[in-house]
Structure 1
Amino acid sequence: MRILEPRSGSAVVGRFAVVVCLIALVNVGFMRAYGMSHLVTPLYYVLHAVFVGGPFVLFALFVIVFQIRLQRKLSFLSRKDGLTGLNNRRTFFEHTDSRRKECKDGVLLLVDADNFKRINDTYGHQTGDICLKRIAKTLRKNVRHDDIIGRVGGEEFAIFLRNTSLEQARAVGERLTKPIIFRPVNGSSVRDLRVTLSVGAAMNFADQPLDTLFARADQALYKAKADGRARLVVWTEQLPMH
């Protein structure tokens, strides 16, 4: 079906013309088979194909385009977070697990919006959604194209930095802890608002299970929250369990 999908106006015209020609050839073969080809002119075959078969051809092309676009939309929704457009939790885990096997070095960052519930309770969920979108935009801006970003919880995000040293990851994490300014919903009397992020980092190792990597990053994130938020904490064996 994807082969038949027209991707432009000229493609629609081209496919329509091809199918109409095929219909005309079928008509020619039918009339000859029954010995009636002498009763009509060549123009008849063309007009018959265009005005009788043409509407069905256009309808079929419309159905093909609709089905393929619907499949793409459903595929996107199954892999992406509907609000931010980032990978959803399942997709992030799958891509991260695959990427960890391809590269030796890497760092996982778990990122959580500080006092996000207060934003929702004070300014409403629409403003909360705007805040999450702004955070997602900030995360994209601060990582490379090959890094993996996902929304793994309500206000929790995750980033896997591939082929990255702990020092490089620390620099990225420190940038993310700077206040993020966003504008609330239209019509609000409140002007710009700010949100900060807490970040927990854990170094990836080849023989380390993915669950362990996430648990360590989460442990570091918990420590960042407990120490006052808006900061980066890197996991070490000395961190207490929570």
Structure 2
Amino acid sequence: MLSAEEFATLRHARMRWNTPLSEEHAALLLQRLEVRSGVRVLDLGCGWGELLLRAVAGGAGAAGVGVDTDEAALVRGRALAASRSLGDRVRFVREEAAAWREPADRVLCVGAAHAFGGTVGALDALAGVVRPGGRLLFGDACWEAAPGGAAVRIFGDAVLPLAELVEQVRVAGWRVLHLSTADLREWDDFESTWRAGRQEWLLEHPEDSRAAEVRGELDVRLREYVGAYRGVLGMAYLVLGR
């Protein structure tokens, strides 16, 4: 039987990264981020740091640090770094993203605006950790279509329409070097892989004492996705400079 810690890792077991993003889209974003030789890369809310590792690997002599509060994700990140011979170039630190003060040349903050109190707070705070002439990859949820009541109940009223998100970026003093959004295939893959680790476990252990709770959670999530926010909730990826 899986321990509680091992069971918790099933949530992300089949995920490449914890955001709706294809391999091709990720490569484009990292190209726009321009991780050059010798730069320092910072990932705030890094999870297990897949994007960070790829960013550092793409720049000769680049080094990076990933910051998150999820120790299990950080352990996974360290193992990935070691397996790619990046252990001496990338370190993972357990700390609140909003508490980090060391600046970097390239900063990633994808799906972690909540750590700064929301979109506006994140855009303001991140200006303090991007070195002059640096770039920020900022990923944030947005409404790509008018949400119904169910979607608002799930995600709250802090999510901005895409146009308002872009306006907040401008007001915060950032310039948009690149803008793209996740498409439906990326969202479908994200939602499917978020469920997949536990779905597979459930099929193999239908009589486990935890099965009913897991089945219920997965069923609710799938109903909410297809019935409330598929094609409505978006994810915007912006490469920004100041």
Query: Does the alignment reach a TM-score above 0.5?
Result: no
Larger radius of gyration: 1
Query: More strand by proportion, 1 or 2?
Result: 2
Query: More helix by proportion, 1 or 2?
Result: 1
TMscore range, shorter length? under 0.3
Query: Given the two structures, how large is their TM-score scaled by the length of structure 1?
Result: 0.24
Greater relative contact order structure (CA < 8 Å, 6+ sep):
2
Query: Given the two structures, how large is their TM-score scaled by the length of structure 2?
Result: 0.24
